[in-house]
Chains A and B, each alone.
Chain A
Amino acid sequence: MTETRTQTQFEEVDQIVVRFAGDSGDGMQLTGDQLTRTTALMGNDLATFPDFPAEIRAPAGTLPGVSAFQLRFSNFDIHTPGDAPDVLVAMNPAALKVHVSSLRRDGTLIVDTTSFGPVDLKKAKYDKNPLEDGSLDGYRVIKLELQRLTREALASTTLDTRSKDRCKNIYALGIVSWLFHRDLKPTIQFLRGKFASKPEIAEANVKALEAGHLFAEVSGLFQAAYRVAPATFMKPGTYRNVMGNQALCLGLVAAAKKSGLRLVLGSYPITPASDILHQLATYKHHGILTFQAEDEIAAIGAAIGASYGGLLGVTSTSGPGLALKSEAIGLAVMTELPLVVIDVQRAGPSTGMPTKTEQADLLQAMFGRNGECPVPIVVARTPADSFGAAFDAVRIALRYMTPVILLSDGYIANGSEPWCVPTASSLPEIAVKFAAAGDGTARFRPYERDPVTLARVWARPGTPGCTHRIGGIEKEDGSGNISYDAQNHQHMVDLRAEKVARIANDIADAEVIGHPSPDVLFLCWGGTTGAITAAALRLSKAGHSIGAVCLRWVNPFPKNLEAILRASKRVIVPELNLGQLAMLIRSRFLVDAQPFTKVQGQPFTSHEVEEAGLAALAALRGQEVSR
């Protein structure tokens, strides 16, 4: 043992990108999650990208059934899970077929050769065996019969063959753990916890993990193991790794606690938002009430009812659900009740591609209701940023008595990164004021307003002397009485718009990253933030006049945005749709914002964004020269 250890060569690198790909039954997500946990605990910066199979129940070994997980970790500040992996672990021909083209040239390909028979190749739509036809030349190919190796490692156990084979992914994790010098302890701990009721399975998995590790060490197949030192640039503090949906839930709970209100979530299962319902359902000990409704409309109805009752109503969904909720959002606008509506976007239209990411619900969030129906829109930009976005959504909803739409997307919802955990005491208090009991002498006026925020007064049913009626019919300001008066309607429509506009007074200014006064400005929102930040930082560092603004609020825009846009010579709006933010920017500011778009169910690579930036810069210089 000691002897082999000393033979291990370590190569110090500053980052690694690894991707696991296999059948949806191969446990790729679990494998990726464990490597991520360990990596987080080892103090690296990291970003992950789980890419779920297009079809949940696709037949084994076929292309639509391929599930993948990419992890990038580093000793420096990173913003994306990386473009091309350095190492690809492919568990079958289909996984190889789908993912090999993204592997870096001269990258390492670890491939399980167990199932490369004619039938397997046919299922993966290979005419020839890629292991033999030379198509993998240029990669460092390491062929392993993982099934045989795993069975051998578990020969002494009493498990049946099927159960042994199911430890294959953990064996592979053992190999990769050695390759990247990752600690085995967190995974061992996890396995013993997960299979606590089946100790035999737990120990078999631990054995497979250790055997894979040892195999990698002694087989001589790998020239060296890689070591990535802990990240040192990070600001001091306590960190944990969080996924976007997870951070979003924590932000909601934190904001509810800071406002002193109980949170009520009304929700209906939908990919990729269901985890919000699942997670909040485990926070009952924090007083969080979750209600799985009969449909999307009932889900938001219950949230509105809870807000009417004086609690914090929240509803979570994805694009199709947001469409169903639009009438109810209109009611919340009309009755001026606080409400948070979460849309974890996925590729559309209609059912679209539920497990794939997209940002094409922006205009739906902005305009998808009847009548003039303004709703503030806050966006989560990265997995960890989802915490702040959710906190902000609650803060504004309560301060302005308005529904707020919180946009996230599948990419950040399921992606993860380190999060510097704030202390509870460092989070701002959220002041909430209810109408005080009256003596019944004066008629209560539910539409009296705060002169600064224009928020109406909030009276909890049950309060003596405050009985009143509200509803979706146009009402007179102040008294709340039904009114069809022409001038009053104009006044109320203007007022509801003005209320949302005033939120600009309460949100942070936009910040330019990269070049401080760039000629080319990327303007982005939401989940593209990682790729755009990385591109802007790299290009500006290389001396290019390129910067970026990544918006937290899309409605209203931050007050300083217009000046930033006008100061730059060219505005590029990269987004995963056909140009929705670009359309809003052009109509709002009459600025010649150019969309840079992609709708493939996949996030931008930093490389794509960098090229777009350089092309814009070149075009600009060309123009300047010819002028």
Chain B
Amino acid sequence: MSTTGTPLTKKDFKSDQDVRWCPGCGDYSILNAVQTAFAELGKKPHEVAIVSGIGCSSRFPYYMETYGFHTLHGRAPTIATGLKLANPDLDVWVVTGDGDALSIGGNHLIHVLRRNVGLKILLFNNRIYGLTKGQFSPTSERGKKTKSTPMGSVDEPFSPIGLALGANATFVARSVDIFAQHLVAMVKRMDAHRGTSLLEIYQNCNIFNDGAYKSFTDKELRDDRVVELHQGKPLLFGKNLDKGLSFDADLRPRIVEKADAATWDEHRANPAYATALAHADEASLPVPIGVFRDVARSPFESDLRNQLAVAGERKTESLDELLLGNETWTVGS
């Protein structure tokens, strides 16, 4: 709890509340990674506020020794926006899940992204409803059999990254709960961005959707099934980084020789390549993780505050002047 003196460790970001996720849930490793990243970034607990919606992931703020607001299902971006407008210097994080952010809160997510409010959004994607015990979510694969879809779901899933890029988000990245180092690095990258940064985190729900990402995150499969995006570097994967990824004339990603691999540029203004990767077929192509897009655009709250400053310079008016307005008359005593 100390707020001064010696450098903080991840312990300083642990609250006194018992963590209540199911044993083995991917949320634990995410909590750990965020606490590690915050400590390494030298953050002070009181300078951080974490706003969450409703769902398993949204319990997150209770376990962090920072300011925290556990709000309404889907509405965390709205409350976080108000908070950031109130205090642009505050370090505001949003924790949400696939149901929270993309189903009930889908509208708010796209608008916060297009506005580029200075919020850092951690989207825990477990492709299932956990808290309500196992219904399909907007990221569940087609054909998913759940309690609410006994014959399999006929819903087409969202790609959260594709959606964010479509909303003209300025920072979009992906990581995985169990890729601890990568996750910490991505949290740090988000932190450095001005404007909205969105990190999709593939998170295993071992109770209702166990093994959702197993086919590419298992230790033995990982090297061949995951491609890491690195700025200015070719898109390589495989144990010895001996395979490459490139794009055909229709911008479809395809596997190529190492030498033919495309070079990754996360700063491209045109989101087409990033979008193509976001929608790449998970079964037949390596799954991209890392920064899909990182471009500069002025944050919403700064632009709004600037208008106040400009208006204040243009016109000064006392409260009396405001109340009186331009047209008055006097009734004598």
Contact = CB atoms under 8 A, between A and B. Distances in A.
Interface of A: 37, 40-43, 186, 231-232, 234-241, 250, 253-254, 257, 262, 264, 266, 283-287, 289, 291, 293-295, 297-311, 313, 327-328, 331, 335, 420-424, 439-441, 443, 460-473, 481-482
Given A240-B324, A302-B79, A467-B45, A254 B319 contact: yes
Interface in B35-71: 44-47, 49, 51, 61-62, 65-71
Given A236-B332, A469-B62, A461 B87 contact: yes
B251 to A, nearest CB: 30
B332 A463 contact: no
Contacts of B151: none
A462 B91 CA distance: 9
Given A236-B333, A250-B322, A461-B49, A289 B85 contact: yes
Contacts of A293: 78, 111
Nearest to A441: B1
Interface of B: 1-4, 15-17, 44-47, 49, 51, 61-62, 65-72, 75, 77-87, 89-90, 107-108, 111, 304, 307-308, 310-312, 314-320, 322-325, 327-333
Nearest to A463: B46
Nearest to A287: B308
Contacts of A257: 319
A581 to B, nearest CB: 30
Contact of A423 (B47, B89, B314, B320): B320
B82 A286 contact: no
Given A236-B333, A424-B319, A302 B1 contact: no
Task: Point out which of B72, B77, B320 has the most chain A C-beta atoms below 10 A from its C-beta.
Answer: B72
A445 to B, nearest CB: 12
A284 B3 contact: no
Contacts of A471: 61-62, 68-71
Given A287-B308, A301-B75, A465-B46, A239 B69 contact: no
B46 to A, nearest CB: 5
Contacts of B66: 467
Contacts of B86: 262, 264, 305-311
Contacts of A37: 327
Nearest to B71: A331
B82 A250 contact: no
Contacts of A313: 82
Task: Point out which of A236, A441, A470 has the most chain B C-beta atoms below 10 A from its C-beta.
Answer: A470
A254 B323 contact: yes
Contact of B78 (A298, A335, A463): A298
Contacts of A237: 330-331
Given A297-B75, A301-B81, 18 more contacts: A186-B327, A257-B319, A285-B317, A286-B317, A287-B312, A298-B75, A300-B78, A304-B82, A306-B86, A310-B87, A328-B75, A424-B320, A440-B1, A441-B1, A461-B67, A462-B47, A468-B68, A471-B70
B193 to A, nearest CB: 20
Nearest to B311: A284
A264 B71 contact: no
B46 A443 contact: no
B39 to A, nearest CB: 15
Contacts of B67: 461-462, 467-469
Contacts of A468: 67-68
A265 to B, nearest CB: 10
Nearest to A424: B319
B328 A238 contact: yes
A302 B85 contact: yes
B312 A285 contact: yes
B61 A285 contact: no
Contacts, number: 214
A43 B17 CA distance: 66
9 contacts: A43-B331, A237-B331, A284-B308, A298-B111, A306-B85, A440-B4, A443-B16, A464-B44, A466-B46
A472 B72 contact: yes
A549 B69 CA distance: 42
Contacts of B71: 301, 304, 331, 471-472
Nearest to B308: A284
B3 A305 contact: no
Contacts of A43: 329, 331
B322 A294 contact: no
B65 A305 contact: no
B20 to A, nearest CB: 9
Nearest to A304: B79
B77 to A, nearest CB: 8
Contacts of A463: 46
A40 B330 CA distance: 10
A295 to B, nearest CB: 6
A236 B62 contact: no
A297 B314 CA distance: 33
A305 B314 contact: no
A421 B324 contact: yes
Nearest to B50: A469
Nearest to B44: A464
Contacts of A297: 75, 78, 108
B79 A305 contact: yes
Nearest to A293: B78
Contacts of B323: 250, 254, 421-422, 424
B324 A238 contact: yes
A294 B111 contact: yes
Nearest to B78: A301
A440 B2 contact: yes
A37 B315 CA distance: 25
A284 B78 contact: no
Contacts of A466: 46
Given A239-B328, A250-B323, A331-B72, A464 B79 contact: no
Contacts of B314: 285
A469 B317 CA distance: 39
Contact of A469 (B15, B80, B327, B329): B15
Nearest to B73: A327
Contacts of B327: 37, 40-41, 186, 240-241
Which 8 pairs across A and B sit closest by C-beta, in order of nearness?
A: A305-B82, A301-B78, A471-B70, A309-B86, A284-B311, A302-B82, A469-B68, A236-B333
B1 A443 contact: yes
Contacts of B330: 236-239
A239 B45 contact: no
Contacts of B307: 284
B92 to A, nearest CB: 8
